[in-house]
Amino acid sequence: MWPASGASWPWGTFAANLSGAFILGAALETLTLLGPDGGWRRHTRLFLGTGFCGAFTTYSALALEISTLARNGFVVAGMVYALVSVAAGLAAALGGIATAARALARYAGGPE
């Protein structure tokens, strides 16, 4: 993914980071609800969290795009992008957690 030109919202990185946060939240909640962090669950957590989501999302591109926006005179846009990225990432992770919890409860026949 190429960083934004510095004059527009960096949609590519924003979308990748939000979807990665959702996937990470869902994966970690699923593994937590399935049992203790050991054996295959630990390996899966490390693979999905550190491996897949770590490679899929990119903090360095986020930092570069904030810097590029600020350097091109869009300081407020850079600050807004940073704050919105963190807040939306947290919301996406919480959404992933809630989705996984509900899906597992439904699968197990428990309350939704």
SS3 87: helix
Residue 38 assigned to a binding site: no
20-30 per-position pLDDT tens digit: 999 999 999 99
**54 belongs to an annotated ligand binding site:** yes
Helix residue ranges per DSSP H, 1-112? 11-34, 39-45, 54-56, 59-71, 75-108
Decide: 1 and 16 in contact? Cβ < 8 Å.
Answer: yes
Q: What is the pLDDT of residue 62?
A: 92
**Calpha distance 107→59 (Å, rounded):** 34
Residue 9: per-residue pLDDT: 85
Q: What is the mean pLDDT of the chain?
A: 88
Place of tokens 């990748």: 16
Tokens 């869009």 found at:
74
Parts of the chain with a pLDDT under 50: 1
Instruction: Report the chain's terminal Cα–Cα distance, integer Å.
Output: 38
Which pLDDT value is given to residue 52? Answer: 87
Q: Tell me what pLDDT residue 67 has.
A: 93
